[in-house]
Amino acid sequence: GQQLNQSPQSMFIQEGEDVSMNCTSSSIFNTWLWYKQDPGEGPVLLIALYKAGELTSNGRLTAQFGITRKDSFLNISASIPSDVGIYFCAGQSTSGTYKYIFGTGTRLKVLA
């Protein structure tokens, strides 16, 4: 099935470092979501973006809706061990359907 491209696929970082990841699509989206998934759990919504160029923060997390409407970025500042997990982007197209297309995921590992 269709999936969005996320990069990097995985990353190891030191506690306290900032993290950046992105998500790209060949299609235009009108909504971008960012989720975090822990092992054995469902994804948890972190940030929702509804407008091109929008920049939204949730604590140490900041996400942006790309102005081309084909990409989105997530930044995590001052990472902590509990940031470990898989981060997924999800986009909703303008085609009128209500499905979200998810990315391939970025696996984050934080070294204390």
Partner 1 sequence: DAGVTQSPTHLIKTRGQHVTLRCSPISGHKSVSWYQQVLGQGPQFIFQYYEKEERGRGNFPDRFSARQFPNYSSELNVNALLLGDSALYLCASSREAGNYGYTFGSGTRLTVV
Q: Give the nearer residue to partner 1 in terms of CB position, either 35 or 73.
A: 35
Contact 49, 61 (CB under 8 A): no
> Considering the rule CB under 8 A, would residue 100 count as an interface residue with partner 1?
yes
- For the CB of residue 103, give the shortest distance to partner 1 in the complex, in Å: 5
Among 19, 21, 65, 102, binds partner 1 (CB under 8 A): 102
Among 14, 40, 59, 82, binds partner 1 (CB under 8 A): 40
Binding site for partner 1 (CB under 8 A): 1, 3-4, 30-31, 33, 35, 40-45, 48, 50, 88, 90, 92, 97-105
